[in-house]
Amino acid sequence: MTKKHSRPLRAVFVGFGNVAQRLAAMLTVERHLFPGLEKLQLVPVAIFTRQRGALVEPAGIDLAAALERFRASGAFPDAPMPVMQALQELDYDVLVELSTLNIADRGEPAVTHVRNALQRRRHAVTANKGPAAFAYRELSALARKKGVRFLFESAVMDGTPVFNLMQALAGCRVTGVSGILNTTTNFVISRLEMGETMDSAVKTAQRLGFAEADPSLDLDGWDAAAKTAILANVFLGADIDPLQVERRGIGDLTPEAVAKAAASGRRFKLICRAELENGKVRAKVAPEEIAADQFFAAVNGKGAALRLETDMMGPFWIVQENPGLNDTAAGVLQDLLTVAASR
Amino acid sequence: MTKKHSRPLRAVFVGFGNVAQRLAAMLTVERHLFPGLEKLQLVPVAIFTRQRGALVEPAGIDLAAALERFRASGAFPDAPMPVMQALQELDYDVLVELSTLNIADRGEPAVTHVRNALQRRRHAVTANKGPAAFAYRELSALARKKGVRFLFESAVMDGTPVFNLMQALAGCRVTGVSGILNTTTNFVISRLEMGETMDSAVKTAQRLGFAEADPSLDLDGWDAAAKTAILANVFLGADIDPLQVERRGIGDLTPEAVAKAAASGRRFKLICRAELENGKVRAKVAPEEIAADQFFAAVNGKGAALRLETDMMGPFWIVQENPGLNDTAAGVLQDLLTVAASR
């Protein structure tokens, strides 16, 4: 352990939406609340948004001032260069990819951003599910080859340890995973159980700020399929993408069907599954009826749960009670601390 | 990373009961089932039992043969030297302390065994709750000072990552823990709910092999208090022992009380809690009535659950479905792999 930590991590941010702004606040104005961040000194040299301009300051951006400015004016100036040029030319240590999942474009442009950072021997940290869902095998091999880190703790269950847990599971091999991993559908089903219509339940989730703008990403199971692909790729050695996950969303669920299940003591849940079957990985997302005394049934509203089967131990679970933006930002911060510690 | 791994870990085992025998089987005859153990080469130089003799072979014990011999004859020869002498004089790398918790003797002799190993710059791995419950602050400081590891993943929730999780939680500070951590009482309460008497339920647990021989360790909450003390010491920086945990067992629970709770949709659970109150740690074990839709209520039979509150994230849980001896052995193996990797 050298004293190199004292040199701050120079970061390129791609995306400055809710998660990035939360992260920026935790690293600046709220920093005193989190003593565990002491070892993380981070200075952005560029912050790109999709449609609201960019800041590029090779000497370092004042993150607190940038956050205040963006919140006040809703935009940065026009970008002085494209993201790709910045990733190729700027002097930085870590790419912080916080753009959102794009299924139609197969995880792009985030996959390309991460690939470019890794190729330049820069670490890549992302909360975007795209890179690990569409290109895990390629990008993790590239990171290993270049001696840098490709980290995405927030991509599944926010900052609750999922991928970082692998280290803790020394000696164990994961043989199967299942979970309730999409907050929006779990919340929507809970509202259907209260007699609300699908339409109204989705609007409530959007109003509370945790449904995607395009609700089909959640309702049709794409978000869940992306997470399932990541889990299959990381834990089961698969090389699949979200389009290869058998997928059925909750669009067909009605308050009536949900009420009928409840009458026989059961609850619908959108369950993700990935398991090894005769050496092959099978990955699936579909609504299932769960008996009321099963653990999945106890995951309410915005909760999430992941069940891990291993070769050595009986199944165990990781459960999130009621995650918010802080949880997602915390996962990115954990990854950044891992990068800082690995220098 | 050097090639030093190829030199096997030389181990002194203290205790050769159920967990140690399971561990020995997993490391030998069952080894091919667990590819994750590839990096763990371990050779005992001594195996001590409490009342059934010992093996001491400085050149290395054939663990598979020792296990077979012990299972066939029920004993080793008389010990050629006391444990303490072995810990002082033998050439070994790691103490594997698998004796059982002793509350009356304040965790002894396991605490002394661990202290002696650490003082000689030997690593100490233990599934015994005593050392971390009665002397965590002293022993962890000693290990740090001597540059060796003091590990006890199995002491709470077996091999399910609890303490190894701290690494994964980079940046987060734990601010409170609660849990169902004693399998026997959880099982006994489940049987009371089925109308069984306390006596009969305890006998069933003993017959199934997971209640302590002295049931008061479980029923009076001592095992739970030891685990709560460890969690408070490790996660909240406390320096307490099990006697300083407010403690009420389940001895007073009756099938009638349990049935009455069930009639109003509630379940009794023995809940462990440790939290920071005005900078002070408060630790407590007591039966609580839990509403049926709460997570704790979904932890059935032999299950266990731990809820962690942190400064950065919403609460999350680690849950064990149905742990057995393999799970406990897996925790010890994880610790041994950590030791092997740290050389």
Nearest to A305 by CA among A319, A315, A325, A287: A319
Contact partners, residue B214, CB within 8 Å, separation at least 6: none
Query: Counting one residue from A and one from B, how many pairs have CB atoms under 8 Å apart?
Result: 167
ipTM metric: 0.93
Phi, psi of A235 (to 5 degrees): -90, -30
| Cα–Cα dist A40/A27, whole Å | 9
Which residues on chain A are in Cβ contact (under 8 Å) with B165?
161, 165, 168
pLDDT in tens, B152-169: 999 999 999 999 888 788
What tens digit of pLDDT does each residue of B289-304 get?
A: 999 878 899 898 889 9
Contacts B319 to A, Cβ<8 Å? 295, 316-319
Minimal CA separation from B80 to chain A, in Å: 34
Q: Is the pLDDT of residue B136 over 80?
A: yes
For residue A293, the chain B residues in CB contact (below 8 A) are 298, 300
Of A165, A313, A324, the CB nearest to B327: A313
Give the whole-number percent of chain B exceeding pLDDT 70. 98
Catalytic residue among A3, A39, A227, A280: A227
What is the Cα–Cα distance from A23 to A20, expressed in whole angstroms? Answer: 5
Pick from A314, A170, A182: nearest CA to A242: A182
Chain A positions touching B27 (Cβ under 8 A) are: none
Which residues from A are below 8 Å from B312, CB to CB?
A: 26, 34, 36, 159, 326-327, 329-330, 333
The nearest CA of chain B is from the CA of A89 a distance in Å of: 31
Strands A9-14 and A42-48: parallel
Q: Please indicate whether, in this complex, the C-beta atoms of A337 and B168 are within 8 angstroms of each other.
A: no
Of A36, A172, A341, Cβ closest to residue B172 = A36
Interchain proximity A311–B33, CB inside 8 Å: yes
Residues in Cβ contact with B103 at an 8 Å cutoff, skipping those fewer than 6 apart = B217, B222, B226, B242, B243
B120 pLDDT more than 80: yes
Across the interface, whether the CB atoms of A170 and B312 are under 8 A apart is answered no
Mutate which: A40, A181, A316, vs B, most B CBs within 10 A: A316
State whether the Cα torsion A68-A71-A77-A80 is positive or negative: positive
Model pLDDT, residue A2: 42
- pLDDT tens column, B55-83: 999 999 999 999 999 999 999 999 999 99
Q: Which residues of chain A have a pLDDT value below 50?
A: 1-5
- In this model, does residue B94 exceed pLDDT 60? yes
Residues from chain A that touch B300, judged by Cβ atoms under 8 A, are: 293
Q: Is A227 a catalytic residue?
A: yes
Q: Could you give the CA distance from residue A190 to residue B31 in angstroms, rounded to a whole number?
A: 45
Instruction: Give the model's pLDDT for residue A168.
Output: 82
**Position with higher pLDDT, A214 vs B24:** B24
Tell me the per-residue pLDDT of B193-213, one tens digit each, with 9 for 90 and over. 999 999 999 999 888 877 777
How far apart (Å, rounded) are the C-alpha atoms in residues A118 and A122?
5
Higher-confidence position of B286 and A206 = B286
Kindly give, in sequence order, each residue whose CB lies less than 8 Å from that of residue B239, ignoring residues fewer than 6 positions away: B136, B137, B233
pLDDT, mean over chain B? 94
Cβ atoms of B158 and B184 closer than 8 Å: no
Task: State the nearest Cα–Cα gap between B77 and chain A, in angstroms.
Answer: 32
- Return the pLDDT at A6: 67
pTM: 0.94
What one-letter code names the amino acid at B144? R
What tens digit of pLDDT does each residue of A223-237 get? 999 999 999 999 999
Query: Closest residue of A to B317, CA-based?
Result: A319
Judge: A171–B293 Cβ closer than 8 Å, yes or no. Answer: no
Q: Which residue of B has its CA nearest to A305?
A: B317
